[in-house]
């Protein structure tokens, strides 16, 4: 079989389990594992989705139900197939031990339900509540890495520059070597307030594959960031090969929001959200409580050597979710879905002529500009997202 391109979002949360109990406290109530798979397959049009709350026993129960009903099945090369999408079983875990100034979030992916169930049992004695998302693990980062690798898994630091709960975000850790074994890291996730060119300013990151994922807390936010993979089939084994760029498997393109749209891009005052400089009183209200933005943090970590990622990295295309586009409301969105089937077909394949038959020309122009990464944006910061300008 020839290699084929697919779209993948590898960081989606579960809001509720099969018993209607919360998994991700801030997640939407409709964000069940079944609804995630339906949304990814039917509306988003992505062929691979990583759900990072699969360590929860009730989430595993719901997956077993889908398999027993014949609606899903486990793949020989890892992952669970549901309609047109493959589920990659993942778990987001918080690390905070004596070796690091955490908390730091990481993503652990395993190939099968049996391996994930085994991981859950291991976590049970090292975590207060395995039923909930992103819970603190009591142990070292390197011990966690070894366990993931013993189970045949993938280990990926999550949203590495976010001011809260990330590898570099707190401003204390200067190198991943302080916390992790670099040889057991399979990729790094950039997060919404950074992109390839920003991350490559840090020398130690240049050897790793970069991932762009949604960190979705609602069905609508699935695939707000994603990547195109070139693989043989949508499976765990093929994903692993793509992260290592083996035998032609690779990431072809990263699609992510312009970093200026991320809610932690600029340094801003925690009290009034006025832009400023970390360590200096707010120029507006005088408060000394500033939230250090991703741009300022990366500047602190920037290596002094001259380096260009041009031609060494997949292209990074700045995009926004369809609902960010000015004038594209629920009715227009439903019209587009009805005509084109999925968001991926709308964003990547519908022609200008086809789009103009469904939506006003100004919306068509926004969609076509997105394909080229051309957008005018207003920067966000301090927990407030930026916005796309007309």
Report pLDDT digits (tens) over 189-198.
Answer: 998 888 999 9
φ/ψ (deg, to 5) at 152: 80, 30
Contact 212, 5 (CB under 8 A): no
Report the C-alpha gap between 280 and 339 in whole angstroms: 53
- Position 87 scores a pLDDT of 99
The three state secondary structure string of 193-211 is: CCCHHHHCCCHHHCCCCEE
Report the C-alpha gap between 33 and 38 in whole angstroms: 9
Task: Give the N- to C-terminal CA distance of the chain in Å, as an integer.
Answer: 44
Torsion of CA 215, 218, 223, 229, to 10 degrees: 60
Of 312, 267, 309, 311, the residue nearest 290 (C-alpha): 267
- Position 35 scores a pLDDT of 98
- Position 205 scores a pLDDT of 96
- Position 390 scores a pLDDT of 64
Taking the alpha carbons of 129, 133, 138, 142 in that order, is the dihedral positive or negative? positive
Q: 4-259 has which fold?
A: TIM Barrel (3.20.20)
Report the C-alpha gap between 148 and 246 in whole angstroms: 21
Cα–Cα distance list, 34 to 18, 72, 87, 108, 224 (Å): 9, 10, 11, 21, 19
SS3 322: helix
Question: CB neighbours of 377 closer than 8 A, spacing ≥ 6?
Answer: 258, 260, 261, 386, 387, 388, 389
Report the C-alpha gap between 15 and 36 in whole angstroms: 10
The three state secondary structure string of 329-342 is: CHHHHHHHHHHHCC
- Position 311 scores a pLDDT of 64
Structure tokens at 218: 């609602």
Report the C-alpha gap between 267 and 290 in whole angstroms: 7
pLDDT string in tens for the chain (390-residue length): 699 999 999 999 999 999 999 999 999 999 999 999 999 999 999 999 999 999 999 999 999 999 999 999 999 999 999 999 999 999 999 998 777 767 999 999 999 999 999 999 999 999 999 999 999 999 999 999 999 999 999 999 999 998 889 999 876 788 999 999 999 999 999 988 889 999 999 999 999 999 999 999 999 999 999 999 999 999 999 999 999 999 999 999 999 988 877 777 888 888 887 778 888 888 889 888 888 888 888 888 998 887 766 668 999 999 988 988 989 999 999 999 999 999 999 999 999 999 999 999 999 999 999 888 877 776 666 666 767 666
The pLDDT tens digits for 350-367 are: 999 999 999 999 999 999
**Where do the domains of the chain lie?**
4-259
* Secondary structure element (H or E) that encloses residue 226, with its range: strand 226-231
- Position 177 scores a pLDDT of 92
- Position 308 scores a pLDDT of 67
SS3 129: coil
SS3 157: strand
Query: Torsion-angle region of residue 287: left (phi > 0), alpha (psi -120 to 50) or beta?
Result: beta
- Position 143 scores a pLDDT of 96
Structure tokens at 299: 């500047």
> Around 181, how many Cα atoms within 13 Å sit in the side-chain half-sphere?
12
């Amino acid at each position: 079989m020839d290699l084929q391109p697919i779209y993948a979002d590898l960081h989606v949360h579960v809001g509720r389990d099969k018993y209607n109990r919360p998994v991700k406290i801030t997640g939407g109530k409709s964000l069940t594992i079944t609804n995630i798979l339906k949304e990814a397959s039917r509306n988003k049009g992505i062929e691979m989705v990583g759900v990072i709350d699969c360590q929860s026993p009730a989430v595993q129960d719901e997956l077993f139900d889908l398999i027993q009903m014949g609606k899903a099945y486990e793949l020989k090369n890892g992952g669970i197939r549901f309609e047109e999408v493959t589920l990659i079983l993942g778990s987001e875990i918080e690390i905070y031990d004596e070796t690091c100034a955490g908390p730091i979030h990481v993503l652990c992916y395993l190939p099968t339900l049996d391996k994930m169930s085994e991981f859950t049992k291991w976590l049970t004695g090292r975590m207060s509540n395995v039923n909930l998302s992103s819970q603190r693990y009591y142990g070292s980062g390197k011990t966690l890495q070894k366990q993931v690798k013993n189970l045949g898994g993938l280990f990926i630091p999550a949203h590495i520059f976010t001011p809260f709960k990330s590898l570099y975000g707190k401003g204390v850790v200067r190198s991943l070597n302080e916390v992790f074994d670099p040889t057991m890291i399979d990729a790094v996730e950039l997060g919404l307030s950074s992109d390839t060119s920003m991350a490559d300013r840090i020398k130690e990151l240049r050897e790793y594959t970069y991932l762009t994922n949604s960190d979705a807390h609602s069905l609508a936010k699935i695939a707000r960031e994603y990547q195109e993979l070139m693989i043989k089939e949508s499976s765990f084994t093929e994903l692993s090969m793509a992260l290592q760029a083996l035998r032609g498997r690779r990431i072809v393109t990263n699609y992510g929001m312009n970093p200026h749209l991320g809610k932690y891009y600029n340094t801003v005052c925690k009290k009034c959200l006025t832009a400023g400089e970390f360590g200096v009183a707010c120029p507006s209200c005088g408060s000394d409580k500033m939230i250090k933005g991703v741009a300022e943090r990366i500047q602190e970590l920037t290596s002094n050597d001259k380096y260009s990622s041009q031609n060494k990295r997949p292209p990074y295309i700045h995009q926004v979710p369809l609902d960010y586009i000015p004038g594209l409301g629920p009715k227009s969105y439903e019209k587009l879905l009805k005509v084109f089937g999925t968001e991926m077909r709308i964003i990547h394949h519908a022609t200008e002529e086809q789009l103009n038959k469904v939506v006003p020309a100004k919306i068509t122009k926004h969609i076509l500009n997105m394909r080229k990464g051309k957008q005018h944006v207003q920067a966000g910061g301090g927990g407030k997202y930026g916005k796309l300008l007309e």
